[in-house]
């Protein structure tokens, strides 16, 4: 059968009958296919090892940068939090202003000293807030203190007198366990003083204490080498002898401060005092004895004063206390002046 559409290979002028037939599956790949594979496969490209190492190095650097950014963010967050706490401490009010009638309370507890809770800075701030609140019908000083600095006590006493005259509000002192020395200095500025029968009240005096080691140093053969500019610069040094002139000078200073104390007590208590030879000698008495001597007015607690004297049973505490931010700030700066503070503590204190 003849097929007119079929091509006869013998009709092809290029046909070579001696050429072996081509097999489809065994033909080698074309050069262009090999080039295409090498361009698509990174492992066949020249320098691929270097490119891989560069990628790994850049990935490690990016990870380190991210870690540093995170640490910086955390530190800045803590710093912002600390700044916020400080700002909050500086701008917060001592107590919330209350319009309803109430009895305002300011605590004076512990040693009266600069930097303590019972310092003039804290107490006077609380007193101002209490007096300025229109709802406060009276201010009560809740006292439990053995005394302390006459300077701090004098600042509190002066502020109480000023605020009483300005706002025309009564001030009452309520004594818990102890109201002695500088604490009584403050209480004497109140209009009335209430105590418990067993409270300790008084100790109207001034002291300056310290130690002298000159005799001991002579026995053990220790020589004190102290250089001063001014003959009296080191007269409070515990390792140097004290002359009679220096002792007399210190006693004159103590007598002057003692007289200031007595003046405040007499001005505050007035004719209620039943003065005795021992009243200003530094002795102290029970609350019951204090009432008999006129150092106190009556026996009574804080609740009694609010209910029976002020006639307002609601009590609002205006006491100024350290918050978290202030404590943190003190810790941060605690070591800055540690050497100076220790040196100052070595100087005999007056109280």
The reply to whether 181 belongs to the active site is: yes
Please tell me the distance from the alpha carbon of residue 257 to that of residue 207, in angstroms, as a whole number: 10
State how far the alpha carbon of 98 is from the alpha carbons of 125, 130, 150, 172, 348, in Å: 17, 10, 33, 20, 44
Please report, for the chain, how many H helices and E strands are present, in that order. Answer: 11, 8
The reply to whether 219 belongs to the active site is: no
User: What is the per-residue burial (b if ≥16 Cβ within 10 Å, else e) of 45-63?
Assistant: eeeeeeeeeeeeeeeeeee
State how far the alpha carbon of 31 is from the alpha carbons of 21, 28, 36, 40, 222, in Å: 22, 9, 9, 15, 103
Please tell me the distance from the alpha carbon of residue 162 to that of residue 155, in angstroms, as a whole number: 11
Please tell me the distance from the alpha carbon of residue 34 to that of residue 109, in angstroms, as a whole number: 94
List the alpha helices (DSSP H) in the chain: 31-40, 48-91, 120-132, 150-167, 182-187, 214-220, 244-269, 287-293, 302-304, 324-332, 338-345
CB 316 within 8 A of CB 102: yes
Please tell me the distance from the alpha carbon of residue 75 to that of residue 68, in angstroms, as a whole number: 11
Indicate if the alpha-carbon torsion angle 256, 260, 266, 267 is positive or negative: positive
Q: Of residues 55, 65, 233, 327, which has the active-site annotation?
A: 233
Please tell me the distance from the alpha carbon of residue 169 to that of residue 134, in angstroms, as a whole number: 10
Please tell me the distance from the alpha carbon of residue 351 to that of residue 151, in angstroms, as a whole number: 9
Q: Of residues 145, 181, 199, 203, which has the active-site annotation?
A: 181
Please tell me the distance from the alpha carbon of residue 108 to that of residue 16, in angstroms, as a whole number: 124
CB 319 within 8 A of CB 124: no
Catalytic amino acids?
Answer: 181, 233
């Amino acid at each position: 059968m003849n097929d007119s559409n079929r091509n006869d290979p013998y009709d092809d002028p290029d046909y070579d009958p001696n050429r072996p037939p081509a097999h489809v599956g065994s033909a080698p790949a074309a050069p262009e296919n090999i080039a295409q594979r090498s361009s698509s496969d990174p492992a066949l490209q020249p320098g691929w090892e270097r490119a891989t190492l560069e990628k790994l190095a850049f990935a490690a650097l990016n990870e380190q940068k991210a870690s540093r950014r995170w640490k910086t963010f955390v530190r800045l967050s803590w710093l912002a939090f600390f700044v916020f706490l400080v700002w909050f401490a500086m701008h917060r009010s001592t107590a919330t202003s209350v319009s309803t009638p109430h009895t305002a309370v300011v605590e004076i507890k512990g040693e009266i000293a600069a930097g303590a809770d019972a310092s003039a800075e804290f107490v006077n701030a609380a007193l101002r807030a209490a007096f300025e609140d229109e709802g406060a019908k009276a201010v009560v000083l809740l006292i439990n203190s053995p005394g302390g600095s006459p300077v701090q006590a004098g600042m509190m006493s002066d502020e109480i007198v000023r605020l009483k005259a300005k706002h025309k509000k009564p001030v009452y002192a309520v004594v818990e366990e102890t109201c002695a020395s500088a604490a009584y200095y403050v209480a004497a500025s109140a209009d009335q003083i209430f105590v418990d029968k067993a409270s300790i009240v008084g100790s109207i005096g001034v002291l300056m204490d310290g130690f002298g080691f000159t005799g001991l140093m002579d026995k053990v053969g220790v020589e004190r080498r102290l250089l001063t500019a001014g003959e009296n610069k080191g007269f409070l040094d515990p390792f140097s002898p004290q002359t009679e002139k220096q002792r007399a000078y210190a006693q004159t200073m103590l007598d002057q401060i003692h007289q200031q104390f007595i003046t405040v007590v007499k001005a505050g208590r007035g004719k209620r005092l039943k003065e005795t030879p021992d009243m200003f000698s530094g002795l102290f008495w029970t609350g019951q004895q204090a009432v008999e001597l006129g150092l106190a007015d009556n026996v009574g607690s804080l609740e009694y004063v609010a209910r029976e004297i002020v006639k307002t049973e609601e009590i609002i505490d205006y006491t100024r206390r350290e918050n978290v931010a202030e404590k943190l700030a003190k810790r941060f700066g605690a070591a800055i002046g540690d050497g100076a503070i220790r040196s100052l503590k070595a100087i005999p204190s007056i109280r």
